[in-house]
Amino acid sequence: MERAGGVGAGRGVSGQKAVLFSILLNAAVAERPVRWRTLLHEALHSVSVGYIRVDYDTLIGWEEGTVEQLQRLLRRRVLESLGVDVAEEVFAETEADYPFNPYINALEDVRDVLGVPPLDFYLRLLNTPIAQRPGSIFGQTMGLSAAARRQVVEVLSLSNAVLKEVIRHGYY
């Protein structure tokens, strides 16, 4: 914690949050309603537990797939809470061929074989450091039968190969 003598002096302010995380938008996106999906996606990165650049670079899909699917799951609720009304069709065009869809598909395969509800699965991943996410999924197999465990490990192995790939893209 840093002490700042001038913060709120004489105004009844106890503290002030310094700006440590900025979201930069491509100018072509910034003025369009589709910007909301990008803002939420990037905001989710800011609360991703244990975000370390080398882990991100090594396990990119474990982060990008997680935050992208979470923004899709949470978007309507977040926009409603902000009083923002944007039709889902605005996002559908971008998301139909979105570069991170293979990451989402791989994570959905894992989630599906585990039988975990979507929001629970993705929030758990977001609250797990990137480097620990594959092991965290493997840990969830401990109480399963040998056959079920084998099935999860097989799906996890195939999915992990996709989740470690760097997908080249031209937009977010």
Q: Per this entry, what is the length of the chain?
A: 172
Sorted by where each begins, the domain ranges of the chain are: 27-163
Q: How many whole angstroms separate alpha carbon 34 and alpha carbon 87?
A: 10
Q: Are 14 and 8 in contact (CB under 8 A)?
A: yes
Per-residue pLDDT averaged across 92-117, rounded? 96
pTM, two decimal places:
0.84
The residues near 50 (Cβ < 8 Å, ≥ 6 apart) are: 128, 129, 130, 131, 132
pLDDT tens for 31-57 read 899 999 999 999 999 899 988 889 999
